Structure 1
Amino acid sequence: MNRISRRLAPLVGIAAAAIALAGCGASDPGTSDGREAVTMWGSWSGTQVAQLNQQAKAFNDSQSKYEVKYVAQEIVEEKLLTAIAGGQVPDLVLWDRYATALYAPKKALMPIDDLVKKDKVDMDAFYSPAVDELTVGDKLYGLPLLVDNRSLFYNKKMLADAGVEPPTTWEELKTAAEKLTVRDANGKLQRAGLLMDDPGLFNSYLWQAGGELLNKDETKVEYDSPAGHAVLDYWKSLLDAGVYESGFGDGVDAFAQGTAAMRLNGPWALADLDKVDGLDYGIVPPPAGPSGDTAAAMGGFGLVIPQGAKNSAGAWAFMKWWTTEAKNGVDFAKISGWIPANVEASKDPYFTEDEHYAAFIQTLQFAKVRPSVRGYSDVEGKALIPALQKFMIGEISADEALAEATSTGDKILKENRK
């Protein structure tokens, strides 16, 4: 909502929303052939729109009561709140599950526990961490649709030439990265042994070091812990060994261009990498930490019904069709490259017999989700990442970075409990 005036903004915003949303894809009463329209919003755009339209068409062709239409929206979570205020909401939203803990308390989403119970939907059919992300308190707000994680990509030729096997532990990863790093005669980095351009991976490394993100009652962050220090000590050892420099490869995909030998990345990268001529790459689960702990962060999307949806029945029918029938999940993977949150679907030979997807499926067996605590997303974005970025460029020490992230993070969590 535009802040025209603190006193007038609520009234002006609601009025504007009612006018604007009347023509931007909120629920329609019906279609030309008598079917009930189901309007789905999401942030997916570009070529992804065609993927969703193809899946919607498959559902539309499978029955004669509903017709699903996808409408792309920017910043879909925020726009949904405006739509609710204006009384014009979509029937269904392709939803980043991580946002549930923030938006469910705002009454933006409809609980679906009664629908699940009535139709006897087996929630054990989904990866349980994905279900957890859609659960706030004792209420379920959606069905898991897609899952992902970060696994280790490596250039096969580079590793073979260096006599290096794909690493399975932190120690092996460091040794491999050092052997794979290439500098010119003047010491300028030509090839990074390991890309370290994403400080957001701290979560996974912390778990691999045996740590946790929050304390037991989920009121304080646990970054400034022995595990947290083990992560930054490890990162510093890699930087000191020269396997990466901050800013190296900025603006390009260094792994695709052959200027990085290894990197942690997700399944969304496969489609583009497979188009690179001559690139022969492999993927293995992320290396285990010092004590053998394996971990990775699970992300992905779900399907939710907004509060006030006019065709919640049609939305629910499409949700069930897509998420609970394994074949439909596999079919969408063939369209989009995404991994289904339905366990049976994800273990289809399409994934398990593919040399690239197989590693992600293995990693899903031990992947976890970030805490479903209100405000935790802000903790990462406003406390953890900024502190880690300063650490990576040598502006502050590990002690200072973890202390800063902890202090600011705890304040954010406290503010969100009010």
Structure 2
Amino acid sequence: MKKNAKSNLRKAAALLLTMGMVAGMLSGCGSSDKKNVQDTSSGDNSTDGKTVEITMWGSWGGDQVGQLDKQLDAYNKSQSKYHITYAVQDSMEEKLLTAIVSNEAPDVVLWDRFNTSVYAPKGAFTQLDDYVKKDSIDMSKFYSPATDELTYDGKLYGIPLTVDTRVIFYNKDMFSAAGIDPASITTWDTLRDAAVKLTKRENGKLVQAGFSLKDVGLFNNWIQQAGGKMIDDSSATAKAAFNSDAGLAVLKYWNQLLNEDKVYDLGFEDGFGGDGFKAGKVAMTFNGPWTLQSYKEAGVNFGVIGQPEGPTGAKSAMMGGFGLIVPNKAKHADAAWDFIKWWTTKPENGVEFAKISGNLPANIDAAKDPYFMDDDVLKVFSDTMSYAGIRSKVPGYSDLEGLALIPQLQKYVAGEISAEDALANAQKQGDTILAEAAGK
């Protein structure tokens, strides 16, 4: 959720080193199945009736700590058996592996779902299938891509909590001045037409960008709108699939916007803290629900538009978000499950956290609440979830994007290499990454 791709890559490299050091130790700790977890919560309650203290870890900091504390306080007041507290962890994934090995694992973790396929094979999680079955939890009540992202090798390791995606934010004042109806932007062509009309230059210098093209990392969404895909995982060893007509269509479109229409200049937003839309210098940008409060506080008069259709009529969006997991060797797994169930399976609690934090619930019933459906902005995000999908869970996919593809795309938009060379170079390096990840 809302993480910078480059920092994620550096983090991933550190994580791989840590995992290599502790993987063998974890495998000796027993599997991540529920039967191997030492849960003492029942014993604590049955012997002396004291409230069991449980701990939740996560990487959310800053203002989000207060938001989480408010939600946890609501849980604590809802019952008397358990009391949960939140602790921020920098480099949370590395610390979690170490904590499991040293028998100091927390009870619950606020987990970036995308990392599940990396850590599940290392025995980092408690399997939740037995809990779900025992309490007859209807997993169809959650967005299926989010549940899929928490599933590995047919086993469920977490319950979806939040979902997020990107849509087009537009400046209402700029649209009004240009005489553009936001409802008219439904395709790449209409997006391009609007971007041209919204662009302003003075003496050849860009002063108002029609559309932000600062993030080439969104290629994974663009290519699906063009009718393509990132990888082909139909065989034993996955292969890069972006070096295709669809991939070239994306880069051709970017070239039209950047070099023919000149609706954006690379680096234009650097002078505005990296967010020209917030500064009132960009008319349209892709962004997610995490920016809503920031834009409101900045006084931006904005609206949102759903994803446009590509040249083949395809519509797509990428779904991110967090789930709640119970680490392997958690001391109070039953207590952790009680908390997870309270937050994720009761729609009213998901809605309340959305009101507190702006995070969209992964529970579909919660997402259909009038709080979202009656709000012009939140409804667009909720509607987008109906066609949003997740990134590939194939081992090595993250590095394929970050180490192979994105650097080549950056060279392309900078005019250093051709579109054909960018995709071919990325394919060659990406296929090597995928083969190595698969142990080939």
**Common fold, TM-score beyond 0.5?**
yes
Superposition RMSD on alpha carbons, in Å?
2.1
Q: Is 1:181 aligned to residue 199 of structure 2? A: yes
Among candidates 279, 282, 295, match of residue 316 of structure 2: 295
| Alpha-carbon separation, structure 1, partners of 2:234 and 2:119 | 21
Once residues 396 and 91 of structure 2 are traced to their aligned partners in structure 1, the CA distance between those partners, rounded to angstroms, is 18
In structure 1, the partner of 2:64 is 48
Q: 1:266: which partner in 2?
A: 288
**Following the alignment from structure 1 to structure 2, what is the Cα–Cα distance between the partners of residues 376 and 272?**
31
- 2:201 alignment partner AA: R
Match of 1:198 among 175, 200, 215: 215
In 1, Cα distance between equivalents of 2:246 and 2:79:
53
- What does 1:223-262 correspond to in 2, within 5 Å? 223-240=242-259, 241-250=261-270, 251-262=273-284
Letter paired with 1:274 = K
The alignment status of 1:152 with 2:176, answered yes or no, reads no
What is the identity, as a one-letter code, of the residue corresponding to 1:302? Answer: G
Taking every aligned residue pair, what percent have the same amino acid on both sides? 51
Q: Structure 2: how far apart are the matches of 1:120 and 1:28?
A: 23
Q: Matches of 2:148 and 2:410 in 1, distance apart? A: 29
Q: Deviations over 1:250-286 (max 9, x none)?
A: 2342101110000010000100111123x21110101
The one-letter code of the counterpart of 1:209 is A
Alignment partner of 1:36 is 2:52: yes
Paired residue for 1:113, among 129, 133, 149? 129
Residue aligning to 1:18: none
Partner of 2:151: 135
* Change over 3 Å in CA distance of 1:33–1:387 after alignment to 2: farther
Alpha-carbon displacement from aligned partner over 1:301-347 (angstroms, at most 9, x marks no partner): 00011111111111111111000000000000000000000001011
| Corresponding letter in the other structure for 1:194 | F
User: What residue identity is the alignment partner of 1:211?
Assistant: G
Matched, 1:76 2:97: no
* 1:85 CA displacement: 2.0
Letter in 2 for 1:220: K
Q: Displacement, 1:86?
A: 1.7
Q: How many residues align?
A: 397
CA shift digits 1:34-64 (9 cap, x unpaired):
2111111000001111111111111111111
Per-residue deviation at 1:33?
Answer: 8.7
Is residue 222 of structure 1 aligned with residue 241 of structure 2? yes
- Which of these residues, 364, 372, 376, is aligned with residue 355 of structure 1? 376
| Partner AA of 2:352 in structure 1 | D
Deviation at 1:28, TM superposition (A): 10
Work out whether residues 344 and 363 of structure 2, in 8 Å CA contact, stay in contact via their aligned partners in 1: yes
Q: Please give the alpha-carbon distance, in whole angstroms, between the structure 2 residues aligned to 1:221 and 1:131.
A: 25
Which piece of structure 1 moves more, 384-393 or 209-218? 209-218
CA contact (8 A) 2:40 2:332 kept: no
Quick one: distance in 1 between partners of 2:289 and 2:352?
A: 16
CA–CA distance in 2 between the matches of 1:81 and 1:288?
A: 42
Match of 1:407 in 2: 428
Structure 1 counterpart of 2:290, which letter?
W
1:170 counterpart = 2:188: yes
AA matched with 1:237:
Q
Q: Which residue of 2 aligns with 1:209?
A: 226
Return the match for 1:67 from 73, 77, 83: 83
Q: 2:199 is matched by which residue type in structure 1?
A: T
Once the two structures are overlaid, the 10-residue window that deviates more, 93-102 or 346-355, is 346-355
Structure 2 distance, partners of 1:407, 1:315, is: 44
Task: Tell me, yes or no, if structure 1 residue 395 matches structure 2 residue 416.
Answer: yes
Q: Which residue is equivalent to 2:113?
A: 97
Cα drift, residue 10 of structure 1: 5.6
Find the residue that maps to 2:376 and give its secondary structure.
coil
Counterpart residue identity of residue 372, structure 2: F
Conserved? CA contact 1:28–1:37, under 8 Å: no
Give the conservation status (yes or no) of the 8 Å contact 1:155–1:261.
Answer: yes
Q: Distance in 1 between matches of 2:95 and 2:40?
A: 18
Matched, 1:327 2:345: no
Report SS of the residue matched to 2:240.
coil
More helix by share: 2
Residue 397 of structure 2 corresponds to 376
CA distance in 2, matches of 1:297, 1:10: 33
Distance in 2 of aligned mates of 1:28 and 1:339: 33
Unmatched runs of 5 consecutive residues or more in structure 1: 15-26
Gaps of 5+ in 2: 1-13, 26-38
SS in 2 for 1:255: coil
Shift of the alpha carbon at 1:165?
A: 2.1
- CA distance in 2 between partners of 1:313 and 1:163 (Å): 58
1:190 maps to a residue whose letter is V
After superposing on structure 2, the runs of 4+ consecutive aligned residues of structure 1 that deviate more than 6 Å are: 27-33
| Whole-angstrom distance in 2 between the partners of 1:143 and 1:61 | 22
Distance 1:276 1:118, change over 3 A: same
Q: Which stretch of the first structure deviates more once superposed, 408-417 or 89-98?
A: 408-417
* SS at structure 1 position matched to 2:109: strand
Is the contact made by 1:28 and 1:39 (CA closer than 8 Å) also made in structure 2? no
SS in 1 for 2:278: helix
Provide the rounded CA distance (Å) in 2 between the counterparts of 1:165 and 1:293.
Answer: 22
Greater alpha carbon shift after TM alignment, 143-152 vs 373-382: 373-382
Deviations 1:152-184 (A, max 9, x none): 011111112112222110000111111111111
- Whole-Å separation in 2 of the counterparts to 1:194 and 1:121: 44
Q: Deviations over 1:202-229 (max 9, x none)?
A: 1111111111121142611211011111
Output the amino acid matched with 2:264. Y
